[in-house]
Structure 1
């Protein structure tokens, strides 16, 4: 039990040596360990801060790129809408121009057909008058063969033709 009592009893010499060893340990640690440990911690802290700053910058750049891309997409959509609107307007203009041209061509064709019909009508009436005049002269010649001379016959035929209706 003597050993147990010596462990529990206070020994001031041992306490002083322990205090000296502790102070020496603190001095050695302060000189060789605390400096490198604190500088490593400070370096690590600055590296983390730089990484966080770079991450924040990258996030801000990504947000800016996203905003730029969104603006470019909206602009492209607006341009596409404008192109479609212009194409529709151009198609409407071309359709209307084609309709106008077709109407003009149809009117010209109708006018040509009307003029052609009128010309053929005039030719037919002229031929009919000539035929009627020839028939009338032939009939009148048979009836009046010996009573009227050729000049008087021609005058009668001309008067007969003039008396015919024009249509």
Structure 2
């Protein structure tokens, strides 16, 4: 049995057989040449193409990043300018509103003064008219009273009663 076991070891793939080594090397070299001619070129060109596309994508990404940073910077500048402009407009609006408020208050005060002066003038005029009417009435009553006194040729008591009657007439006409 030992002999059969040796035979198995002799013919096995683990034992160095020069013919097998030669043909394995020839097959490997032929396969290597065949792969180099047929597959190595396309594999390398595919790898180069892939490398170029990756590099192109990286370049585009860097370019897009630079563009985005520039755009972000421009947007920040525009926002800052817009904020400054908005602050200026708000300030001008407040100043204008304050100016308009002051003008309106001044006009209202002037108008109130005019109305008060006009009311005083009207009151004074009506007072003068009332006084003039009262004077006319008193003069008329005095003339009528004097006329009655002269006609009646009265004594002192009748004279007093006539004057009191005239005063009473005068007070009822005033109210």
Q: TM-score range by the shorter chain?
A: 0.5 to 0.7
Measured on the aligned residues, the alpha-carbon RMSD in Å equals 3.4
Offset, 1:42: 1.0
Change beyond 3 A, Cα 1:11–1:121: closer
Map residues 27-106 of structure 1 onto 2, 5 A cutoff: 27-106=33-112
Task: Tell me whether 114-123 or 30-39 shows the greater mean CA deviation.
Answer: 114-123
Offset, 1:9: 5.0
Q: Match of 1:21?
A: 27
Change beyond 3 A, Cα 1:102–1:5: same
Counting matched residue pairs gives 144
Q: Which TM-score applies when normalising by structure 1?
A: 0.63
Could you say which structure has the greater relative contact order, defined with CA pairs below 8 angstroms and 6 or more residues apart?
1
Q: Match of 1:5?
A: 10
Q: Match of 2:154?
A: none
Q: Which TM-score applies when normalising by structure 2?
A: 0.61
**Gap runs ≥5 in structure 1:** 143-167
**Aligned equivalents of 1:141, 1:33: Cα separation in 2:** 154
**Gap runs ≥5 in structure 2:** 1-5, 149-175
Offset, 1:138: 8.4
